[in-house]
Amino acid sequence: QVTLRESGPAMVKPTQTLTLTCTFSGFSLTTSAMCVSWIRQPPGKALEWLALIDWDDDKYYSTSLKTRLTISKDTSKNQVVLTMTDMDPVDTATYYCARIRGTRMAPFDFWGQGTLVTVSS
């Protein structure tokens, strides 16, 4: 079955770089029409899309965060990594990775449980 699991630090300091890893099983990012995306949710607030990578290694980023984000994949490890630079307390959120089976227009059919990242000095 399909599973996704986010991992990374629970806390980072302001100005540091956050690195999150999404480890997945039950599918492969070498398969045509498969994508993995990162989404975050500040406490009590709405979902916010961050970045997406597809099977062809095409990458898409939130316009507002594009300068701070890098998404990459390691198909041998079934992992997708997100880095976010220059972290700020407003970046405190639960970070989710999720799968799309299809093109980037398709829905997120499986989500990880999320990982809470707190930005504080």
Partner 1 sequence: SYVLTQPPSVSVAPGQTARLTCGGNNIGSKSVHWYQQKPGQAPVLVVFDDYDRPSGIPERFSGSNSGNTATLTISWVEAGDEADYYCQVWHSSSDHLGFGGGTKLTVL
Which residues of the shown chain bind partner 1 in the complex (CB under 8 A)? 37, 39, 46-49, 52, 60, 62-64, 96, 104-109, 111-114
CB of 15 to partner 1, least distance (A): 26
Quick one: 3 or 28, whose CB is closer to partner 1? Answer: 3
Amino acid identity of residue 119, one-letter, is V
Picking from 64, 63, 75, 61, the residue whose alpha carbon sits closest to that of residue 28 is: 75
* Bridge partners, residue 93, by sequence: 117
Minimum Å gap between C-beta 64 and partner 1 is: 8
- Nearest CA among 42, 39, 41, 61 for reference residue 107: 39
Minimum separation from the CB atom of position 52 to partner 1 (A): 7
Closest CA to 6 of 75, 86, 81: 81
Nearer to partner 1, 64 or 85 (CB): 64
